[in-house]
């Protein structure tokens, strides 16, 4: 979403919108074609009503306050007829990667919640992606009625890709060696805005955001090397942007750093496994190499 009314607008043709949405739609369809697996075959006798009620309560108890927050932070007093807004270049595309990560995070969170409630792994994965994408598209539609934001086909495109990733990982196990991660630290500009009473949602602070692709390298190594490397140690490739302005300017950052996959540690504790799985959605400080504009920097990086 582009919060700036100064951002240049480019008309979008209907055929362009369809082409932008074709790839994630294809991934969603292919991910459902796993032979012998049917989401409609769920045995509801395995579902725990008490747990499902807890999940439903937490979901509604979270969605409603978030809706109120978004209503006040983004949508209040700016209603207009529905329209499209082309913002592909906004925030040097870090915005779009953030949408992909959000789709991935929401879909996996819903999947774990449904699986904890007693649904099968495949059913949980399918409906987790459906629920994750549904929430994001609700936000996009609300943006479409905003006089500044508009419905962004680019945001919708990456929402769909993010929601499709858990389905693709279920269908193609090799993809389970890859994860999306996120790191954030408030930028100087954002902190100055807060001090001046002009605070906005931190999700729009893309100068403090890095989106990462985590890779578990064990599948690329021979058994001897794989056994020698700790199961929780991996690599991550991060993308961020700094010195952004409202005209598409700024500089990109690309980082290669060590990564931690704590959920790969077998603890024998359901609580610790759940905690480690949650922590693995974030990229923690780690040594690496960063390409910042024309500079190459070695250090410990966060975000």
pLDDT digits (tens, 9 = 90+) for 102-130: 999 999 999 999 999 999 998 999 999 99
Distance in angstroms (rounded) separating the CA atoms of residues 301 and 40: 45
pLDDT higher than 70, residue 213: yes
State pLDDT tens for residues 289-299. 999 988 999 99
Q: pLDDT higher for 76 or 210? A: 210
- Indicate if 31 and 162 belong to the same structural domain: yes
State pLDDT tens for residues 159-182. 999 999 999 999 999 999 999 999
Q: Where are the alpha helices (DSSP H) in 145-222?
A: 153-171, 188-195
Domain count, the chain: 2
pLDDT-derived band at 198 (thresholds 50, 70, 90) equals confident
pLDDT at 16: 46
- Residues 225/244, Cβ–Cβ less than 8 Å: no
SS3 sequence, 16-53? HHHHHHHHHHHHHHHHCCCCCCCHHHCCHHHCCHHHHH
- Indicate if 74 and 94 belong to the same structural domain: yes
- Indicate if 209 and 135 belong to the same structural domain: no
State pLDDT tens for residues 17-71. 445 555 555 555 555 544 444 544 555 658 999 999 999 999 999 988 888 877 7
Please give the average per-residue pLDDT across 177-206, as a whole number.
Answer: 89
- Indicate if 140 and 164 belong to the same structural domain: yes
- Indicate if 209 and 231 belong to the same structural domain: yes
- Indicate if 159 and 180 belong to the same structural domain: no
- Indicate if 104 and 196 belong to the same structural domain: no
The domain boundary residue, chosen from 148, 171, 194: 171
- Indicate if 234 and 159 belong to the same structural domain: no
pLDDT at 8: 39
- Indicate if 228 and 249 belong to the same structural domain: yes
Phi, psi of 159 (to 5 degrees): -60, -45
What is the domain extent for residue 162?
Answer: 1-171
């Amino acid at each position: 979403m582009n919060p700036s009314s100064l951002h240049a607008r480019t008309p979008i043709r209907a055929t362009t919108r369809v082409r932008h949405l074709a790839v994630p739609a294809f991934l969603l369809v292919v991910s459902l074609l796993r032979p012998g697996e049917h989401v409609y075959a769920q045995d509801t006798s395995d579902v725990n009503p008490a747990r499902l009620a807890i999940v439903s309560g937490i979901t509604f108890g979270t969605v409603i306050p978030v809706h109120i927050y978004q209503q006040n932070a983004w949508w209040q007093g700016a209603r207009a007829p529905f329209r499209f807004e082309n913002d592909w270049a906004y925030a040097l595309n870090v915005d779009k990667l953030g949408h992909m990560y959000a789709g991935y995070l929401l879909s996996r969170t819903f999947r774990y919640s449904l699986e904890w409630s007693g649904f099968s792994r495949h059913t949980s994965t399918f409906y987790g992606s459906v629920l994750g994408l549904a929430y994001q598209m609700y936000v996009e539609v609300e943006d479409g009625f905003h006089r500044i934001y508009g419905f962004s086909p680019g945001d919708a495109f990456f929402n769909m890709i993010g929601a499709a990733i858990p389905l693709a990982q279920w269908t193609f196990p090799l993809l389970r060696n890859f994860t999306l991660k996120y790191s954030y630290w408030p930028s100087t500009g954002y902190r100055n805005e807060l001090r001046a009473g002009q605070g906005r949602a931190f999700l729009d602070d893309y100068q403090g955001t890095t989106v990462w692709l985590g890779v578990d390298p064990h599948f690329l190594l021979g058994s001897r090397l794989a056994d020698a490397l700790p199961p929780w140690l991996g690599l991550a490739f991060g993308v961020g942007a700094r010195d952004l302005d409202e005209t598409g300017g700024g500089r990109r950052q690309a980082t290669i750093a060590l990564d931690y996959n704590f959920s790969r540690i077998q603890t024998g504790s359901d609580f610790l496994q759940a905690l480690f799985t949650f922590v693995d959605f974030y990229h923690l400080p780690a040594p690496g190499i960063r390409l910042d504009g024309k500079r190459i920097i070695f250090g410990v990086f966060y975000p």
